[in-house]
Structure 1
Amino acid sequence: MNRYAFKNCIRQSITSLSRNSWLAIITSGLIAISLAILGGFLLVTLNVNQFIQDVESNVEISVFLNEGVNASEVEDRISNLEGVVSNTFVSKEDGLEDFAQTMGDPSLLRDLEGENNPLPDLFRVRISDPEKVDGIARVIEGYPEVEMVDYGEELVARLMQITSRLNSIFLIFGVSIALGAVFLIVNIIRLSVVARQDEVSVMKYMGASNGYIRFPFLLEGMVLGWVGTTVAIIVLGLIYGQVASSLTQDALTLLFQPVTDMSRLLPIFVGLIVAGTLMSGFGSFISIRKYLRV
């Protein structure tokens, strides 16, 4: 296609979009709705995964020491274990103070201070991967200086099951919604092409090449997809910003912190723009083929 034909195709696309403005608006609106649903699902998935990671990162092993042992030796051995991220020593005095603050009235525990303190020294060990917690806990439990370990074995096992199930559910729903969006966008563009099939037939009978006929429709589809996706992103951004702001100011922020890092949100928005534009162009491409066989 030479430069003149290329410019003419662009003019045709602009003229067609202007002439069929209502159809273009409806098409872009439907594309926006489709991609807003997909984008909303992706944002929910991102935040759920973040919540799971936060919960997993807070899984720790409490290592209770026997009376009178050398804590520094145990600390070195624990810190050298593969998968250990941090290892914090909590003396019996600090443990009693923390417990007193939890009770809300430190005076209730004054009789337990000093030699009467029944609490043992302990280490709080954080692990990089929750799946390694059980193995590391068993190794530490075998140390002669260790009285017992506690890491909420049932809770960790349950967490692993929930994580696995959620990943499977989100994968199935994600693929289904993405395929649904592709199907809907392709058919929306197809309806737009069907409404102009007479125009295609006339151009074909006048000797226009398939490429010359197809290109304006391809360009129009991509423009409509880009416009629809842009609208979807603006709406999603405004809604997500309000929801994230409300959650951040709410007491729930202690349990759930919404993702606000643009480096993690931007790939979703950029991906939607690229996907919406390409899917709309693809819809135009496959829809116009039928009417080129004249």
Structure 2
Amino acid sequence: MYALREAFRQVLRHPTASLATFFTALVSFALLYFLGLLLWNLEKVVQSLERELEVAAFLKDGANVEALLTEIQAWPEVGEVRLVTKEEALARLVLDYPYLAEAKDLVENPLPDTLRLRLQTPEAVREVALRLKALPGVEGVEYGGELTERLVQVLSGSRLAMFLLVTLLLLNTFFSVMGAIRLSVESRKEALAIMLLVGATRRFIQAPFVLEGVLLTLSAGVLAVLAGGGLYLALGRAAQGLLPFLPVLERQDLVRTGLLVLLLSAFLGAGGAYMASRAHLKEA
């Protein structure tokens, strides 16, 4: 109880330093939480695209379909391969575009037989496409991997950029906490010296400062999680209104991520305060 009471007093004793630390931590944790959610969501989008990814091999007339199916099914990257005949392809096209129903009786079916592949390892889509092109009887290959590959590149670059940005912000928060606690320690230097002389333990003396650091960063973390979560939910609803098939994170995902941010905020506050007060006690 003594430590908590003293922590509140020290926060109020230096409002400028406390507010500077609070807002520094708020910006850091808000960016960490919100950008983390966006990157996680982008990863879910990439995974969804990879699950739906298909490779289409268009066959020449007279191609040995059985031999091609046997060979392709033996490839370890391929999970499923099926034949779509030119008649099936035309029937599907007429279902999608009913106005073609009359035209199909007037002209010869121009569509080729097609092998459609689903991959067990979507990362190998380009390699599989190149191998398909080299097979006898295959006229052309088409796959939607370009978009997925670009999203993966964006995801990798975004992860690196976020890691660098958040690392700098968290270090700034850590040293800001140390500065605020150092100011609190300096203002109570004489009182702390007396406490040491009368036999107070170092842990007893450090406890209020550690709690002060935790109060500053944890309060900023709570506000950052509430603001970041609200912003993400609003953007998620707007995105799904435009693109209903777009996957978004569940509320429990937001809660789990928020708890991790709060744990990190408490750790940074306690760590920075401990280091600052420990340095003074060593000097004393």
- Normalising by structure 1, we get a TM-score of 0.78
Deviations 1:155-197 (A, max 9, x none): 7468546634641443133233223223224314522440452
Question: Which ranges in structure 1 are unaligned for 5 or more consecutive residues?
Answer: 1-9
| 2:30 is equivalent to residue 41 of structure 1 | no
| 2:10 is equivalent to residue 16 of structure 1 | no
* Partner SS for 1:86: strand
Deviations 1:105-159 (A, max 9, x none): 233533257xx22212212112233442233234444544x3323125xx74685
1:268 aligned partner, one-letter code:
T
Aligned to 2:239: 247
| 2:190 is equivalent to residue 198 of structure 1 | no
* Partner SS for 2:58: strand
* Partner SS for 1:81: coil
Aligned pairs, number: 277
| 2:275 is equivalent to residue 283 of structure 1 | no
Aligned to 1:79: 73
In the TM superposition, 1:117-266 aligns within 5 A as 117-144=109-136, 146-152=137-143, 156=145, 160=149, 163-164=152-153, 166-206=155-195, 207=197, 208-250=200-242, 252-254=243-245, 257-262=246-251, 264-266=253-255
1:215 aligned partner, one-letter code:
A
Q: Partners in 1 of 2:150 and 2:55 — Cα distance?
A: 19
Aligned-pair CA distance for 1:202: 1.3
Contact 1:59 1:151 in 2 (8 A): no
| 2:103 is equivalent to residue 109 of structure 1 | yes
Contact 1:41 1:174 in 2 (8 A): no
Contact 1:100 1:109 in 2 (8 A): no
* Partner SS for 1:105: helix
Q: Partners in 1 of 2:180 and 2:18 — Cα distance?
A: 13
* Partner SS for 2:188: helix
- Normalising by structure 2, we get a TM-score of 0.80
Q: Partners in 2 of 1:201 and 1:151 — Cα distance?
A: 77
2:156 aligned partner, one-letter code:
N
Aligned to 2:56: 62
Q: Partners in 2 of 1:241 and 1:165 — Cα distance?
A: 22
In the TM superposition, 1:94-105 aligns within 5 A as 94-101=88-95, 103=97, 105=99
* Partner SS for 1:148: strand
Q: Partners in 1 of 2:142 and 2:186 — Cα distance?
A: 68
2:209 aligned partner, one-letter code:
F
Contact 1:186 1:280 in 2 (8 A): no
* Partner SS for 1:180: helix
* Closer/same/farther in 2, CA of residues 151 and 265 from structure 1, 3 Å limit: farther
1:209 aligned partner, one-letter code:
T
Aligned-pair CA distance for 1:30: 4.0
Contact 1:186 1:282 in 2 (8 A): no
* Closer/same/farther in 2, CA of residues 156 and 19 from structure 1, 3 Å limit: closer
Question: Which ranges in structure 2 are unaligned for 5 or more consecutive residues?
Answer: none
| 2:85 is equivalent to residue 91 of structure 1 | yes
Deviations 1:76-95 (A, max 9, x none): 54333211133243221221
Aligned-pair CA distance for 1:235: 1.6
What is the Cα-based RMSD across aligned positions, in Å? 3.2
| 2:42 is equivalent to residue 51 of structure 1 | no
Contact 1:35 1:232 in 2 (8 A): yes
* Partner SS for 1:125: strand
* Partner SS for 2:112: coil
Aligned-pair CA distance for 1:199: 1.8
Q: Partners in 2 of 1:104 and 1:193 — Cα distance?
A: 76
Q: Single out whichever of 63-72 and 240-249 deviates more from structure 2.
A: 63-72
Identity within the alignment, %: 20
Q: Partners in 2 of 1:66 and 1:176 — Cα distance?
A: 53
